[in-house]
Homo-oligomer: A and B are copies of this chain.
Amino acid sequence: MFAPLQNDTFLRACLRQTTDHTPVWLMRQAGRYLPEYRATRDKAGSFMGLATNVDYATDVTLQPLERYPLDAAIVFSDILTVPDAMGLGLSFALGEGPRFAHPVRNEAAVAKLEVPDLDKLRYVFDAITSVRKALNGRVPLIGFSGSPWTLACYMVEGAGSSDYRLSKTMLYSRPDLMHRMLAVNADAVAAYLNAQIEAGAQAVMIFDSWGGVLADGAFQTFSLAYIARVLGQLQREHNGQRIPRIVFTKGGALWLDEMSRLDCEVLGLDWTANLARARALVGGAVGGPGKALQGNIDPNVLFAGPAQIRAEVAKVLDSFGAPHTDTRIDPATGEPLPGPTHIFNLGHGISQHTPPQNVAVLVDAVHTRSRQMRR
């Protein structure tokens, strides 16, 4: 159905297999920092108009790949499509973050929540299939969703928040309601990601953007446990291909030890994490179990000059150290021997103010230096 993959570097690194360079993609790589994105958005009229139109969504997904030799594409969409399909009414005012018309703030509203009819998310699956065709095997395509807790935050607050007061009030005063909402969210996210895989997503990522605002203890109970519930329901293979699962908790580096026990292939890290320490804790040894690590440069590095960008890229690559280069086949599995690998990314979404030419410097720096490191 789809053309064979020409650049499998990203998928190999997800599976802790050897690659000749460190793959790189950028969270929110299709976005406002690109003038061609802004032009398409203007044509679409609104963010949701853009996300729900298959042709526009395909166009903007591919835009960064026309500029930069990125090693993966990520479908243009939003982390909050699932609660929108639940009927909460997602919108994006220009220059503002997401907003729900019908926030979920009491027992009656929570009781009404259910896993939405996936047909309401058909536009996402159609976009994925369309992008896969348009990519024509150039690089793999990533699908994604917000985590159950991150969805719940927006569902309760109705928008972004500086203190998550309403969500946490529900969490602390009515944990039963929060647990019910998270269970529905988890099952909905799992069904949503499985449908993305059916539609053509070659890897899936769970964005736990607000897990890091939780207290120790609450994070494990209200975010991590429901990420695990999602992961337990995801298909591991599709058409004979393994589908790597990436989990990214912003601010989650404190809980890396517990996150290492998640049933997923890749952990994303923000810039506060020390990659050397994370590799020691999570990366595993050659031939043994472990997870690939994704991250973690500060997106604000992209506001510096080319020399500083290259120096900061080198710091991040050096902090992880050389990925393993053992090309033997594991006789037990018949697969290449797994070992520590790194997928280069930002520690958070790229800023809309980023000069596009600086992204070219970053991508080139990752490719050039990571090839040198393997020699």
Contacts and interface: CB of A to CB of B under 8 A. Distances in A.
Interface of A: 163-165, 168-169, 171-173, 212, 214-219, 251, 253-254, 271-274, 296-301, 303-305, 308, 312, 315, 319, 347, 351, 353
13 contacts: A163-B299, A165-B351, A169-B303, A172-B301, A173-B304, A173-B308, A214-B271, A215-B296, A215-B297, A216-B274, A217-B274, A219-B272, A254-B274
A172 B273 contact: no
Contact of A300 (B168, B253, B271): B168
Contacts of A216: 271-274, 319
B254 A273 contact: yes
A160 to B, nearest CB: 9
A165 B214 contact: no
A215 B168 contact: no
Contact of A254 (B217, B254, B353): B254
Contacts of A300: 163-165, 168-169, 171-172
A173 B215 CA distance: 34
A278 to B, nearest CB: 10
Nearest to A165: B300
B353 A215 contact: no
Contacts of A214: 271-272
A366 to B, nearest CB: 16
A157 to B, nearest CB: 12
Could you say which of A171, A172, A216 has the most chain B C-beta atoms within 10 Å of its C-beta?
Answer: A216
Nearest to A301: B172
